[in-house]
Amino acid sequence: MKTPVPDYLDEIRTLCDAGEDGTLADYIPELAAVDPERFALAACMRDGVVYATGDADVEFTIQSMSKPFVYALALRDRGIDAVLAKVAVEPSGDAFNEISLEDSTGRPDNPMINIGALTTHALVGRPGTGEFDRDLIISAGLSAFAGRPLGFDDEVYRSEIETAFRNRAMANLVRATEIITDDPDEIVRGYTRQCAYRVTVRDLAVMAMTLATGGVNPVTGQRVVTPRVCRQVLSVMATCGMYDAAGDWMSTVGIPAKSGVSGGIFGALPGQLGLAAFSPRLDKHGHSVEGVRTFERLSRDMDLHLMNVDGADVEVVRSAVTDDEGGRRFRLQGPMTFATAELVLRQFEEIPAGPQTVTVDLEHVSTVNHTARRMLIEGMRRLGLDGHEVVLVDPERRLPDPGLSSPAPAGR
């Protein structure tokens, strides 16, 4: 048998064809010279398998899609608080190249718009890192996310830097207010270089999946950043990644995402998959027209919306039986989280104190998160204090043996 997933992705291409809708980004002259008919789509799975269709090996510049990754590097290098002190995390509701600053502090509204990304760029590396070293850190960092050394497009860089008047004005503004203390020209050069790395949709899908796994590249196995950094980046992508279309995107597509004026969009669905689309014609927000259509379609067809409620109707307690001696056996199932563990604790609460055996069977439990683990351990400890012998059936050894951990093991 052949998996139908590639056939489905091939079909998407035809279904999302937008004809000649949209225009090329002409404020960067070199970007106006690309073939507008290109289309590519890739999906990276948790185990690093990448499905791709269309012009999946065609390289284009990463542009604003570099922003979440460089934000991740700044968070890694300076810590979340130090970065938050310089760049806020509020959606601006304005276009990517607007001067969107917080009134009270002068901090750029968020790291996904240009003024915030210029500031974030200056926060990569240790304080005092110079232009050359910062470039090296960014080149190595973006490449670690992609799992291969990314090339650089000097022509696009030159084309953009010659006309980067607006970005230069913004870098000078954050320098004037001392949000940054570096030379603004150096920051504009570095930021413009960060936008000129070359990627394919395959690269972007792997980069997205690296964020979606909590920081481990699924292809190379390398840990690039921590889960806490990924959570911060994904949150900011979800609220600010699509600029003044962020609310619309979140409600229709529901995947944390970032677009670039080269025509790429990538999306990272936490724990599930990394997606990337490429098609150069842009809408009025600067997002790829066919890219947006593709994400809308994929989200709808494959139930990828982050706010989809799946599995909430699964019974947490698969069965609860009482044996001849009055012993109780609870067979639990599904994921154990705060909400499901709370239901289990309430069932424990109904067991009268006494010397019976209480068996807690986790064989059909899929996952136990940190909080649920603590809750179940405490519940079993309290059953022990009530005089019960607690027996844990836990083939995957996700909880400690209650007989060993309980300070007052009953009936032993």
Contact residues: ligand GLN, CB under 6 A: 63-64, 96-97, 114, 160, 167, 195, 260-261, 286
- C-beta of 119: minimal distance to ligand GLN in Å? 13
Rg, Å, the chain Cα set: 25
| Token couple for 376 | 């179940």
- Hey, what amino acid is at 298? L
Q: Is 201 a known active-site residue?
A: no
Q: Which of 50, 51, 66, 67 is catalytic?
A: 67
**Do the Cβ atoms of 124 and 73 come closer than 8 Å?**
yes
- Nearest CA to 66 out of 169, 153, 126, 128 is that of 153
Sign of the CA dihedral with 362 first, then 365, 367, and 368 last:
negative
Nearer to ligand GLN by Cβ, of 68 and 384: the residue is: 68
Rounded distance, CA 285 to CA 97, Å? 10
Q: Which of 34, 51, 64, 206 is catalytic?
A: 64
- C-beta of 382: minimal distance to ligand GLN in Å? 55
- C-beta of 64: minimal distance to ligand GLN in Å? 3
Long-range interactions of 29-34: CB distance < 8 A, separation 24+: 29/159, 29/163, 30/153, 30/155, 30/156, 30/158, 30/159, 30/160, 31/61, 31/156, 31/159, 31/261, 31/262, 31/280, 34/60, 34/262, 34/263, 34/280
Q: Is 2 a known active-site residue?
A: no
**Do the Cβ atoms of 82 and 123 come closer than 8 Å?**
yes
- C-beta of 286: minimal distance to ligand GLN in Å? 5
Rounded distance, CA 2 to CA 10, Å? 14
- C-beta of 210: minimal distance to ligand GLN in Å? 20
The β-bridge relationship of strands 257-259 and 198-199 is unpaired
**For residue 162, how many C-alpha atoms fall within 13 Å in the half-sphere facing its CB?**
10
DSSP string of 78-141, one letter each residue: H-HHHHHTTS------S-TTS--B-TTT--BS-TTSHHHHHHHHTTSSSTT--HHHHHHHHHHH
Q: Is 67 a known active-site residue?
A: yes
Rounded distance, CA 122 to CA 130, Å? 9
Nearer to ligand GLN by Cβ, of 164 and 268: the residue is: 164
Nearer to ligand GLN by Cβ, of 276 and 372: the residue is: 276
Nearer to ligand GLN by Cβ, of 197 and 348: the residue is: 197
**Do the Cβ atoms of 82 and 131 come closer than 8 Å?**
no
Q: Which of 219, 243, 299, 358 is catalytic?
A: 243
- C-beta of 280: minimal distance to ligand GLN in Å? 12
Nearer to ligand GLN by Cβ, of 64 and 333: the residue is: 64
Nearer to ligand GLN by Cβ, of 62 and 253: the residue is: 62
Q: Is 157 a known active-site residue?
A: no
Q: Is 64 a known active-site residue?
A: yes
Nearer to ligand GLN by Cβ, of 195 and 276: the residue is: 195
Q: Which of 201, 261, 289, 316 is catalytic?
A: 261
Rounded distance, CA 184 to CA 202, Å? 33
- C-beta of 290: minimal distance to ligand GLN in Å? 16
Strands annotated E in 296-387: 317-322, 328-336, 357-368
Nearer to ligand GLN by Cβ, of 262 and 299: the residue is: 262
- C-beta of 28: minimal distance to ligand GLN in Å? 7
Nearest position to ligand GLN, beta carbon:
64
Please list the active-site residues: 64, 67, 191, 243, 261
